[in-house]
């Protein structure tokens, strides 16, 4: 178990860092969709530096490291967002709610559909404002993060291995 | 890489890109409005979604910024072309690093105030990066599948 922890320490640490960065507004907008792929790349790079082993990396390792980085970032990102929402009773959804309602109102759709979608959203927003928590929001946020971060992490790992192998071949 | 896998990847990328443009399809299929908040949530995890950076056509907006839309459309275009290519063979990572330079230069220049953010530049630099990026992903998957095939 200790060996396993050591083996995957870099994606876990970088994943934690990326999880924190995904909720910091300015960094989040700078990193955009490249934050998690870059994190996976850094995890691979750190692992090589820590072990002083610059031999050719296998793509499989990139996929595994990317997946672990993405999943760790998703779990920590969701946890931090959950805690902050619980304390402040507000989050991105609450802030963007008026804009979202405006957007939905602009859709040329049936009145009943529009009312239903807005009512569903306002229930979630009201729950967050009152209790700092909405089960539907938390679950969908966790699912979104797990889904996108794991995929983007793996993609970053696949590309990262190819970049690192080029760099190491020069050394 | 097997043609079947290429087709599956292409279809997955189409679904992902479709999600970006969901607002454009809602007038055609009203029930998509139920998915709108969910999709907005999914794309918010991969893009800042700043209003002034979204692509806006006839009042309908994309769910990601111009650069991200460029990256994903570039990926879609590349994956379509790769449906007809038999084998990709990137020996090193120089091309992807080169493809990321225009994007990074654009981010650096507009962030440091040399010029204002332009959606078209962001889109084109993203498109170029996405086009090359997906080819590298295919290349990596190709190597992975060949290795797995040998080990079995």
Q: What's the pLDDT tens digit per position in A148-165?
A: 999 999 999 999 998 998
Q: What residues of B are in contact with residue A163 (Cβ under 8 Å)? A: 93, 96-97
pLDDT at A101 over 60: yes
Q: Does a structural domain hold residue A122?
A: yes
- Full residue range of the structural domain in which residue A64 is found: 2-89+142-170
Confidence of residue A166 (pLDDT cuts 50, 70, 90): confident
Q: Does a structural domain hold residue A136?
A: no
Asked whether the beta carbons of residue B42 and residue A60 sit closer than 8 angstroms, the reply is no
Q: Does a structural domain hold residue A137?
A: no
For A22: left if phi > 0, alpha if psi spans -120 to 50, otherwise beta; the answer is alpha
> Does A104 share its domain with A124?
yes
The DSSP output letter for A34 is G
> Does A127 share its domain with A64?
no
Give yes or no for a contact between B69 and B63, defined as CB atoms under 8 angstroms apart: no
Q: Which residues pair with B54 in a beta bridge?
A: B65
Query: Cα angle at B140 between A60 and B18, to 5 degrees?
Result: 110
Distance CA B74, CA B124 (A): 9
Encode pLDDT of A23-81 as tens digits: 887 777 666 678 899 999 999 999 999 988 888 889 999 999 999 999 999 999 999 99
CB atoms closer than 10 angstroms to residue A117: 20
Which of B20, B34, B37, B111 to substitute to test the interface with A, most A CBs within 10 Å? B37
Confidence of residue B74 (pLDDT cuts 50, 70, 90): very high
A70 touches chain B (CB under 8 A): no
When mean pLDDT is compared over A91-95, B27-31, B73-77, the highest value belongs to B73-77
Residue of B nearest to A138 (CA): B41
Q: Where are the alpha helices (DSSP H) in A8-134?
A: 9-21, 25-31, 35-51, 59-88, 92-106, 111-131
Encode pLDDT of B37-61 as tens digits: 889 988 988 888 888 999 999 889 9
Give yes or no for a contact between A121 and A101, defined as CB atoms under 8 angstroms apart: yes
The DSSP H or E segment spanning B63 is strand B60-65
- Residues of chain B whose beta carbon is less than 8 angstroms from a beta carbon of chain A are 23, 26-27, 30-31, 33-34, 36-38, 40-42, 44-48, 50-51, 59, 61, 64-65, 67-68, 71, 90, 92-94, 96-97, 107, 111, 133, 136-137, 139-141, 143-144, 147-148
Burial group, residue A104, by CB count within 10 angstroms (0-12, 13-18, 19+): buried
How many domains, chain B?
A: 1
Give yes or no for a contact between B28 and B85, defined as CB atoms under 8 angstroms apart: no
The DSSP output letter for A7 is H
Q: What pLDDT sits at residue A134?
A: 92
> Does A42 share its domain with A115?
no
Give yes or no for a contact between A66 and A153, defined as CB atoms under 8 angstroms apart: yes
Encode pLDDT of B100-140 as tens digits: 999 999 999 998 999 999 999 999 999 999 999 999 999 88
How many domains, chain A?
A: 2
> Does A151 share its domain with A115?
no
> Does A83 share its domain with A103?
no
> Does A79 share its domain with A111?
no
Asked whether the beta carbons of residue B46 and residue A155 sit closer than 8 angstroms, the reply is no
Distance CA A100, CA A117 (A): 11
Asked whether the beta carbons of residue B37 and residue A120 sit closer than 8 angstroms, the reply is yes
pLDDT at B151 over 60: no
**Which residues 7-36 of chain A have a CB within 8 Å of chain B?**
22, 28-30, 32-33, 36
Of A32, A113, A141, the CB nearest to B41: A141
B33 SS3 class? helix
Asked whether the beta carbons of residue A121 and residue B37 sit closer than 8 angstroms, the reply is yes
Q: What pLDDT sits at residue B145?
A: 83
Residue of B nearest to A24 (CA): B48
pLDDT at B152 over 50: no
CA distance, residue B43 to nearest chain A CA (Å): 8
> Does A66 share its domain with A30?
yes
> Does A32 share its domain with A85?
yes
What mean pLDDT is reported for chain B?
A: 89
- Write down how long chain B is: 152
Residues 6+ apart with CB under 8 A from A8: A65, A68
Confidence of residue B150 (pLDDT cuts 50, 70, 90): low
What mean pLDDT is reported for chain A?
A: 89
> Does A102 share its domain with A146?
no
> Does A12 share its domain with A70?
yes
B58 SS3 class? coil
> Does A95 share its domain with A19?
no
Q: Does a structural domain hold residue A102?
A: yes
> Does A21 share its domain with A79?
yes
* Residue linked to tokens 């889109």: B123
- Full residue range of the structural domain in which residue B71 is found: 3-151
């Amino acid at each position: 178990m200790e060996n396993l922890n050591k083996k995957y320490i870099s994606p876990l640490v970088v994943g934690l860092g990326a999880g924190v960065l995904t909720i910091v507004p300015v960094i989040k907008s700078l990193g955009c969709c490249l934050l998690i792929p870059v994190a996976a790349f850094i995890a691979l790079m750190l692992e090589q530096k820590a072990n002083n082993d610059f031999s050719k990396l296998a793509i499989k390792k990139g996929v595994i490291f990317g997946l672990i980085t993405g999943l760790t970032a998703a779990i920590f990102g969701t946890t931090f967002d959950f805690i902050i929402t619980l304390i402040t009773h507000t989050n991105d959804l609450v802030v963007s709610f008026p804009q979202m309602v405006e957007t939905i109102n602009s859709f040329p759709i049936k009145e009943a559909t529009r009312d239903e979608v807005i009512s569903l959203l306002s229930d979630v927003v009201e729950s967050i404002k009152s209790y700092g928590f909405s089960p539907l929001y938390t679950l969908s946020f966790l699912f979104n993060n797990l889904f996108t971060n794991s995929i983007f992490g793996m993609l970053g790992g696949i590309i990262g291995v190819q970049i690192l192998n080029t760099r190491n071949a020069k050394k | 890489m097997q043609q079947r896998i290429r087709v599956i990847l292409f279809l997955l990328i189409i679904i992902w890109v479709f999600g970006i443009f969901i607002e454009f399809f809602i007038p055609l299929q009203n029930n998509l409005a139920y998915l709108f908040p969910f999709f907005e949530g999914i794309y918010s995890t991969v893009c800042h979604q700043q209003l002034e950076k979204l692509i806006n056509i006839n009042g309908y907006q994309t769910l990601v910024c111009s650069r991200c839309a460029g990256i994903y459309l570039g990926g879609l275009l590349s994956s379509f072309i790769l449906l007809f290519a038999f084998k990709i063979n990137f020996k090193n990572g120089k091309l992807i690093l080169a493809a990321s330079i225009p994007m990074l230069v654009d981010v650096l220049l507009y962030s440091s105030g040399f010029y204002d953010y332009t959606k078209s530049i962001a889109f084109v630099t993203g498109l170029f990066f996405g086009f090359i990026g997906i080819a590298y992903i295919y290349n990596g998957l190709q190597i992975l599948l060949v290795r797995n095939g040998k080990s079995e």
